[in-house]
Amino acid sequence: EAKKVAPGLAAAAAGGASGPAEAEEEAEEEKNGAAAQPQPPEEQMEVGGTELKPEPRPHKLQQQQQQQQAGSKVPPASASSTGGGAVPGQPPNKQHCAQVRSRRLMKELQDIRKLNDHFISVELVDDNLFEWNVKLLQVDKDSALWQDMKETSTDFILLNLNFPDNFPFSPPFMRVLSPRLENGYVLDGGAICMELLTPRGWSSAYTVEAVMRQFAASLVKGQGRICRKLGKTKKSFTRKEAEATFKSLVKTHEKYGWVTPPVSDG
């Protein structure tokens, strides 16, 4: 039995010896397995990484391709969705200003033609409603200017008015065409030095008739005369010279201000 036990023990010992060996082998296999098991995840991560990284790229590329393909369609859509109140609103504003200007000038033209005092007359330049030639037919008959007009057989003082796109909210550009005047707040090129003709002094309530009456009064007040000096009478006023002179006087008066005449001067 001892022999039997011994072989059993030997077998057990052998089995016990073989057990640890197998355990070590299993441990090594587990280690190897553990080392081998992370590899697939790493491979999966690598594979997954390669799979995950391309996913946003195709998404961005698709967006870029879609934007490029629909590039011509995106601005109108964004304009209508985000800027619909601004971009589409601009043309109606311009159209509205054009309509206001046209209606105002048509009304003023009709009102002037109804005048009975023969103070001014209006002619459209090339049938253009926005450019007028205005004849000033009368000034103060007690003035030296009126005497000059009689002596030189000058029936009227001719002026040119150009109405901007935003009239009546901005003043017309007004200049003298003929005859050549001196003093009377008429400057080089026929430019007119009047505050109400500047953006700061203008009011949309002013009518062409009112402006012309104010101009006639300024001519007399400023002792305007028809120029009779040799050489100057033949030299006509030019628009380019008038515009340059007017811009200069506006800058000067914006810097130093305007002199307000006393109430007694009218």
Q: What is the pLDDT of residues 158-193, one digit of tens each?
A: 999 999 999 999 999 999 999 999 999 999 899 999
Beta bridge partners of 225: 182
Pairing mode of beta strands 181-182, 173-178 = unpaired
Give the torsion sign (CA, 191, 192, 195, 197). Answer: negative
The radius of gyration of the chain's CA atoms, rounded to the nearest angstrom, is: 48
Q: Rounded to whole angstroms, what are the CA distances from 247 to 72, 240, 243, 253? A: 44, 11, 6, 10
pLDDT band at 5 (very low <50, low <70, confident <90, very high): very low
Nearest by Cα to 208 from 117, 118, 110, 127: 110
Going along the chain from its start, the domains and CATH numbers come out as 93-252 (3.10.110.10)
193 catalytically annotated: yes
pLDDT band at 16 (very low <50, low <70, confident <90, very high): very low
Res 244 pLDDT > 80: yes
Q: Please, what is the Cα angle at 147 between 143 and 148, to 5 degrees? A: 115
pLDDT band at 80 (very low <50, low <70, confident <90, very high): very low
From the list 145, 177, 191, 193, the catalytic residue is 193
Tell whether omega for the bond before 179 is within 30 degrees of 0, i.e. cis.
yes
Most confident region among 8-17, 47-56, 109-118 by mean pLDDT:
109-118
Q: What is the pLDDT of residues 188-239, one digit of tens each?
A: 899 999 999 999 999 999 999 999 999 999 999 999 999 988 665 556 788 8
Percent of the chain whose pLDDT exceeds 90: 46
